Structure formats: C-alpha cells, structure tokens
Amino acid sequence: MIFSLIAHGLVSLAFLFSWVFSPNDEMPAPRAVKVDLVGLPEKQLPPLVQKASPVEEVVPPIKSPEPPPEAPKPPAPKEKDVVKLPDKPKDDRAKKLEAQKKKQDEALRKMEASSAFDKIADDVETERRDKEKLVKGPQVQEGGTSGSLDALQRGSYENLVEEHSKKHWELPKWLSSRSLEATVLVKLDSSGTVIDRKIIKKSGNTLYDNWVLDSVDKASPFPAPPPKFVNRVATEGIVLAFP
Amino acid sequence: MTMNSGCKISKVFSYFLAASLIGSVLLSSVASASQIYINVGEAKRKESNLALPSLNFMGTGSVNATAAAAGAELYNVIKNDLTVSSLFQMMSQAAYLEDVSKTSLKPKPGDPAGFDFAKWKTVGAEFLIRGGYRILGNETEFEGYLYYVPKGEMIFGKKYKGTSSAGRRIAHSFANDVLKELTGTAGPFLSRLVVASDRDGGGYREIYVMDWDGFGPTKISNHRSVSMSPAWSPDGTKVAYTAFVLRGRSKRRNADMFMFDLPTGKRSLISYRQGFNSGANFDPDNKSMYLTISQGNSPNIYKMRYDGTLEAQLTKGPLGAMNVEPAISPDGQKLAFSSDRARSPMIYIMNADGSSPQRLTFAGVFNSTPSWSPDGKKIAFAGQSENNFDVFIMNADGSGIARVTSARRTNGKMANHEDPTFSPDGRYVMYTSNRTGKSQIYISTIEGTNEYRVTNDNFNYYRPKWSKTLE
C-alpha cells in the first residue's frame, strides 16, 4: 500500500518536473513525411486528362502492326536438372494396393514359417513371467500364434476388404461435389456374405446414405474372413467409413 | 475398533470399485480399438444417364417455322450446357420407348395423358428432362421439369418467359437451375468471356465479348492495331485492356490501357505511361486494378484507381527482372504474379500491399499467367516443361500441382495450352490451344476431363477471361 503511494507520488513528481523544466512545451510529434509510394518520376507521365482520349481518331489503319510480346519472354534456361511438371494422374491406387498386399502376404508366409520359433520364445517368456508374478484374476489368451502374426493377418484382411469395398464404391458426379460422410457397420458370415448392415453415422443426405448402402450391398460377398476373425466379423462387425 | 474395521472394509470396497471401473474402461477401449475400421476413400465418380427427349410444342395450331426454330434453339442450348456440365451421359434418343410428343410433361397416373416412369426406368435413365414451349406474339415461354427416374419423383419444375430473342437466355437459365438443384451450386451458363482475337482480319487484334459458349461475339474495340490482355471488372460491367496506339501526332506507338464500360459503350484511356501499361486485373473493391507498367525500365506491378491515379508500386525489381501478370485473390488479400527474378519465369505470391513476396512454383522451366479459382483455394497457370506449354492447377500455397491439358496436334507434335481462366462457379477452366494450328478456345473440367471446344473457326484467340459473375 505504502509502496504504491510512494511510486505514484514519484511518477507525478517526475511529470511535474518535466513539465516545469521542459525547454519546449510542444509535444515532440514526428514531422509528416511525404512519401511518393509509386516512385515513378512524375515528369515522365503524360498529364492524366480524360478528355484527351480521342482514341478512335488517332488510330489510322496500319498494314501490319508488329505483334509485340504480351510480356517479354526470356529464352527458357537449358538446365538439365529442372524439376518436371507432373503428368496427368493415372489411377494407380489399385496397383499400389496390390503391391502392398503382395508384400504383406510374403511377410505373412515368412512369419508363419518362423512362428514355431516364436512360439517357443513366447512359451519361455510366459513361463518366466508366470514365475515372476502370480496371476491376478482371469486372463484371456488367444491362439497359439504370436501377436505380430495376428496383426499381420488382420492387416492383410483389412487390405482385402478395403480394396474390395473401393471397387464397388461409386457416386454420381452430381452428388460427389457435396462433401458428405457416412459410416456403416457391416456384419459378415464366414463366407463374407453381408448378414447385416446399418448406417451408424448418417451424412445428413438421404440420397448419399442410400448410395453408401447400395455400394455395400453390391460389394457382398466380401472377402471371407480368416478363421480367427470369423466370430469377430459376425458379431462386432466391420466399420466402413465413406469416403 | 468395530468402527475402525468397518471403515477399512468400506475403503477396500471402494478401491475394488475403482479398480473394476478402471478395468472396465480399459476393456471397452481395448474392444473399440480392436474393431476393424476401414476408410473406403474417395468414390469413383460416374456420369448419370440423362434422357433429354425433344421439347413439346404447346402452342395452339401446328408448329410454324419460327416456332420450330425457337424450339430447336432451346433444345440445343440446354443439351449443350448439360453435356459440358460433365455430370451426365446423354442417352441416345433411339433408345427411348416412349413417344414424348404423345404424352404430357407430367407423369402418370397423376396425369392420365402423362408419361410412364417405368418406360424410362427400363432404358436405364436416371434423370429425365421434359420440356415444352410456346410462342405468344413476341414472347417465348418455356416450361421444364427434371425427374429422378429410380424414385419416380420430380426434382423441380419451372416456367421461364422472355422476348423471342431471349431463347438462349431461357435455356441457359434452365440448365443453371438443373445444376443448382442437383449439386447445390448453379451452373455458369449465363456467364460470358472477353478475349483478344484477329477474327475480323486485317492483321489486327481487337477485343471481343461473347457468351461462354462462343455465341454472339461483339467487338468492343476498334483501334485497328494490336489489342490484348482484356480483363473483367468484378461486376462484369467493365472491361480493361491494352492496345498499341499512336501517341498524338507522333509516329510512335505505345501500349496504353483503356477501360470500356459495357452498358454505356463509353471508352476511356486510363494509363498511358511510356512503355507497357498492360495485364489489367481488377481488385474486388470495384475501385482499383493491378497492372504492369514498364516506364522504360523493367516492368513492375502497380495498383491504380479507375481514374488512372497510381496508388502503390507493389514490386521493385530487382533491376532487370520483370514482374508481370498480376492476379488478385478473390478476397483481395494476396496477389499472384509471374517474375523472372530467379532466372526462370515462375509464379510468385505476395500480400496485396506488396509485402512478403514468396516463390510458389519450382517445377518446369517457364510458368506464367496465374489465375485464381473463385474460392481462392487454387491457382491455374501455364507451365512449360519440355518444349510446349500446358495448363496446370495447384493449391494456392504452391502444393499439389496437377496437369489439366496434354492434348497434341493431329500430327502427334506437342500443342500449347495457355492462358487458363476459371469459370465463375469454379467447376471448369478455359484456355487456348493451338492444336489445330490456330489458337482456339477450349473448356474442360478442372480435373482435365470433358474437354469442349468453344470456338470453331480459323482465327486466333488470345487471353480469354471468364466473367466473374454467374449472370
């Protein structure tokens, strides 16, 4: 409190001091600077008089006006390391997907071959862990393969379903320009046939939702799920997000 | 003691409760993470089958020559607009199962004399347009309906009226409405283009205004010289352009800039500084424009009011470099231009006040004539990669360059595609191509599909500019 009073007092004193002793009581304002923003010499400009635009009469017919360049185009530099402009896009999405799938299948085979070793390693590991701590409560343990093999199989199946869904996903142009999104939950039986499908997130446009459902119906049967996932795909289902 | 132990029990119980809650939350999150979730991605886009049978004559008596001509004009314009729209696949009239002249414009059973949806469904039509017209004295009346065949329902129906010379306008309006109803955005079929052309011979190039489809070219300059690089004002009432004209009594020609007011036909000379006064590009403020002035030195970009007063110099060299082809973004914030300050001419962008210039394109050897999409998200330009120019569209930040044109001459040699300009609805891009040996005007979708030749003659057209308003 007291400090604040002192501080205020000091400041007012300073103001008073400067007011009393200032040699010049004018505010030190910067003098206006006239800037020619344009920077073009005025004398070169012909006077801008609108009446002096008798265009039609000053122009006599001429035989062959040399066509002047619209903008001076310097010769293109002959650099060899110029970045090329792109070609028209080709639909290579399907190719990419296929290559990706091949790669994954390859990896899957390798993993399966080595899964026996994995299993041994896993068993040793679980044994060690089991020794270290007692099991608290029930634990779910799936199958005999390793987690990474699981993930690979799942990834591979996901790719198959994605590729398959894309093939049947068509929209009329008049509808595709509106940015709409819908999500569908699809349940499949062991052969991949659709047993249930429903929109879980509507787009807000009934026609769009219908096109989405149509594309799911057209896509049935989907690729058959691997045995491990049959149950999950039939009960939990697969979520397809459009687009 | 008892109380104490009771306390302990309740504590243990609450721990257990918390643990089980956390457990269940964890479990459920694990379950949702394990759900197979697939992004299907962008759909393949397909054109819809459109049946557009002949229009019914709904006047009294038989069809005379005038009425038949009016009906043919209405039909042809609608058909052309909807073909260019790229939304439809036009069905062959030979496939139709119904004689439309014997049915009304409305469906059965509501109208006993109406048409039968089933017959259109059978031939695979997704959309059906039924239209009729009558001529009453000096008036043309058109009535058009758009039907969605799979559901057997009408999407819209509307009556249009105009003078007998308004046939094309009526047809364009109907086509605009079809696009508006289906996509939410009206078509550009009432818009126009302005272009420099030698179509009146004599070796001159003059400025012409015509409908977007090339109909009704009107000459708006008569300098009998070389006129070039026209531009539309935002409201479509004015055109600025440059012409090489004689300076007073001297024998020297100078590239001066003119402004032509379309409603009044009044022309004014707005910039006649020595050298180039060219590349006009109107600011959305309806008061000023950007242009290139060379003033004997390197060309630089300036902002100028309609009366010719310069507001600002926006580029300053560097010495010997050219800064040309200004193009202001639709919101008036950014100015794209081309410059050879880094040797190869490339597209640059800066703030509208000239600050923070930035290079946008790095590909190719020569990029020029930037042009904004109406939503300000894309920039089209002409780019030279090998020995020819093609049209490209990129995002306004320079990313995602995509090629729009790649057509060749009939002899297999490369053709030039230059001077792109977006349609006012942003769906299409217009450019010139010399594939026929002459520089002609073409249109395609911004993806480069559904190309349409606008001019069909033996003349040259340069720097077309699509009007910025839909009307």
> Which residues on chain A are in Cβ contact (under 8 Å) with B401?
85-86
Give the separation between CA B384 and CA B368, rounded to whole angstroms: 9
Is the pLDDT reported for residue A48 higher than 60?
Answer: no
Per-residue pLDDT, B298? 83
Q: Domain A172-243 falls in which CATH fold?
A: 3.30.1150
Pairing of strands B346-351, B334-339: antiparallel
CA distances from B175 to A225, B145, B172, B441, B459 (A): 48, 11, 5, 22, 29
Instruction: Report residue B320 as tokens.
Output: 């010997």
CB B130 within 8 A of CB B78: no
Give the residue, B454 or A236, on which the prediction is more confident. Answer: B454
Nearest chain B Cα distance for residue A121, angstroms: 25
Residue B238 pLDDT level (bands cut at 50, 70, 90): very high
CA distances from B252 to A56, A179, A193, B202, B447 (A): 16, 57, 82, 20, 45
Per-residue pLDDT, A220? 87
Is the pLDDT reported for residue A40 higher than 90?
Answer: no
Residue A144 pLDDT level (bands cut at 50, 70, 90): very low
Instruction: Return the SS3 of B89.
Output: strand
Give the separation between CA B244 and CA B439, rounded to whole angstroms: 21
Ranges A80-94, B102-116, B288-302, B384-398: which has the least confidence: A80-94
Residue B27 pLDDT level (bands cut at 50, 70, 90): very low
Per-residue pLDDT, B422? 97
Residue of A nearest to B248 (CA): A58
> Which residues on chain B are in Cβ contact (under 8 Å) with A243?
39-43
> Which residues on chain B are in Cβ contact (under 8 Å) with A58?
245-248
pLDDT tens, position by position, B171-192: 999 999 999 999 989 999 999 9
Residue A228 pLDDT level (bands cut at 50, 70, 90): confident
Give the A window 122-161 contacts with B, CB below 8 Å: 154, 157-158, 161
Per-residue pLDDT, A52? 37
Most A-contacting residue of B36, B222, B259 (CB-CB within 10 A), to test interface: B36
Determine whether the interchain pair B228/A70 forms a contact, defined as Cβ–Cβ distance below 8 Å.
yes
> Which residues on chain B are in Cβ contact (under 8 Å) with A239?
35-38
Q: Is the peptide bond before B318 cis (omega within 30 degrees of 0)?
A: yes
Q: Is the ipTM of this complex over 0.85?
A: no
Give the residue, A50 or B37, on which the prediction is more confident. Answer: B37
Is the pLDDT reported for residue A150 higher than 90?
Answer: no
Give the separation between CA B240 and CA A128, rounded to whole angstroms: 85
Q: What are phi and psi of A124, to 5 degrees?
A: -60, -45
pLDDT tens, position by position, B110-145: 999 999 999 999 999 999 999 999 998 889 999 999
Determine whether the interchain pair A46/B385 forms a contact, defined as Cβ–Cβ distance below 8 Å.
no
Q: Cβ of A171 under 8 Å from any chain B Cβ? A: yes
B36-48: average pLDDT:
89
Determine whether the interchain pair A172/B48 forms a contact, defined as Cβ–Cβ distance below 8 Å.
yes
* Helix (H), strand (E) at residue B336: strand B334-339
Per-residue pLDDT, A89? 67
Instruction: Return the SS3 of B38.
Output: strand
Q: For chain B, give the longest Cα–Cα distance.
A: 120
Per-residue pLDDT, B62? 82
Is the pLDDT reported for residue B436 higher than 60?
Answer: yes
Q: Which of A48, A177, A240 has its CB closest to that of B40?
A: A240
> Which residues on chain B are in Cβ contact (under 8 Å) with A77?
343-344, 365
Residue of B nearest to A162 (CA): B40
Residue B278 pLDDT level (bands cut at 50, 70, 90): very high
Buried b or exposed e, range A150-173, using 16+ CB within 10 angstroms:
bebbbebbbbbbbbbbbebbebbb
A106-118: average pLDDT:
58
Most B-contacting residue of A38, A166, A218, A236 (CB-CB within 10 A), to test interface: A38
> Which residues on chain B are in Cβ contact (under 8 Å) with A166?
40-41
Is the pLDDT reported for residue A156 higher than 70?
Answer: yes
B376-398: average pLDDT:
92
Residue A177 pLDDT level (bands cut at 50, 70, 90): confident
B9-22: average pLDDT:
49
Q: B165: buried, middle or exposed (CB in 10 Å: 19+, 13-18, 0-12)?
A: exposed
> What does the mean pLDDT of chain A come to?
65
Per-residue pLDDT, B321? 85
Q: Which of A67, A178, A239 has its CB closest to that of B37?
A: A239
pLDDT tens, position by position, A183-211: 999 999 989 999 999 999 999 888 889 88
Instruction: Report residue B436 as tokens.
Output: 């026929």
Residue of A nearest to B269 (CA): A53
Q: Which of A62, A171, A242 has its CB closest to that of B225?
A: A62
- CATH 3.30.1150.10 domain range(s) in chain A: 172-243
Determine whether the interchain pair B184/A178 forms a contact, defined as Cβ–Cβ distance below 8 Å.
yes
Give the A window 65-94 contacts with B, CB below 8 Å: 65, 67-68, 70-74, 76-77, 79, 82-89, 93
Determine whether the interchain pair B45/A71 forms a contact, defined as Cβ–Cβ distance below 8 Å.
no
Is the pLDDT reported for residue B340 higher than 60?
Answer: yes
pLDDT tens, position by position, B144-173: 999 999 999 999 999 999 998 899 999 999
Determine whether the interchain pair A173/B87 forms a contact, defined as Cβ–Cβ distance below 8 Å.
yes
Which residues, 6 or more positions from A200, have their beta carbon under 8 angstroms from its beta carbon?
A: A183, A184, A185, A239
CB B384 within 8 A of CB B369: no
A92-112: average pLDDT:
63
Per-residue pLDDT, B201? 87
Residue A67 pLDDT level (bands cut at 50, 70, 90): very low
Pairing of strands A238-242, B36-39: parallel
pLDDT tens, position by position, B181-225: 999 899 999 999 999 999 998 889 999 999 999 999 999 999 999
Residue of B nearest to A215 (CA): B43
Sorted by where each starts, the structural domains of chain B and their CATH numbers stand as 48-183 (3.40.50.10070), 192-466 (2.120.10.30)
Give the separation between CA A9 and CA B450, rounded to whole angstroms: 80
Is the pLDDT reported for residue B317 higher than 60?
Answer: yes
Is the pLDDT reported for residue A65 higher than 70?
Answer: no
Determine whether the interchain pair B184/A177 forms a contact, defined as Cβ–Cβ distance below 8 Å.
yes
Q: Which of B36, B203, B383 has its CB closest to that of A65?
A: B203
Residue A16 pLDDT level (bands cut at 50, 70, 90): very low
Nearest chain A Cα distance for residue B264, angstroms: 16
Helix extents (H) in B377-456: none
Give the separation between CA B347 and CA B329, rounded to whole angstroms: 14
Give the A window 96-115 contacts with B, CB below 8 Å: none
Q: Cβ of A27 under 8 Å from any chain B Cβ? A: no
Ranges A4-8, B281-285, B328-332, B441-445: which has the least confidence: A4-8
Nearest chain A Cα distance for residue B227, angstroms: 9
Q: Which of B38, B267, B364 has its CB closest to that of A239?
A: B38
Give the separation between CA B299 and CA B306, rounded to whole angstroms: 20
Give the separation between CA A21 and CA A23, rounded to whole angstroms: 6
Determine whether the interchain pair B126/A172 forms a contact, defined as Cβ–Cβ distance below 8 Å.
yes
CA distances from A130 to A122, A139, A186 (A): 12, 12, 39
Determine whether the interchain pair A55/B406 forms a contact, defined as Cβ–Cβ distance below 8 Å.
no
Tell me the count of A-B CB pairs closer than 8 A.
219
Is the pLDDT reported for residue A241 higher than 80?
Answer: yes
Q: Cβ of A29 under 8 Å from any chain B Cβ? A: no
Residues B185, B189, B191, B194: is their CA dihedral positive or negative? positive
> Which residues on chain B are in Cβ contact (under 8 Å) with A159?
none
Ranges A53-62, A122-131, B60-69: which has the least confidence: A53-62
Per-residue pLDDT, A199? 93
Is the pLDDT reported for residue A30 higher than 90?
Answer: no
Instruction: Return the SS3 of B175.
Output: helix
Ranges A18-27, A219-228, B40-49, B278-287: which has the least confidence: A18-27
Determine whether the interchain pair A58/B312 forms a contact, defined as Cβ–Cβ distance below 8 Å.
no
Give the residue, A95 or B305, on which the prediction is more confident. Answer: B305
Instruction: Return the SS3 of B389.
Output: strand
Name the region of B290 (left: φ>0; alpha: ψ -120 to 50; beta: rest).
beta
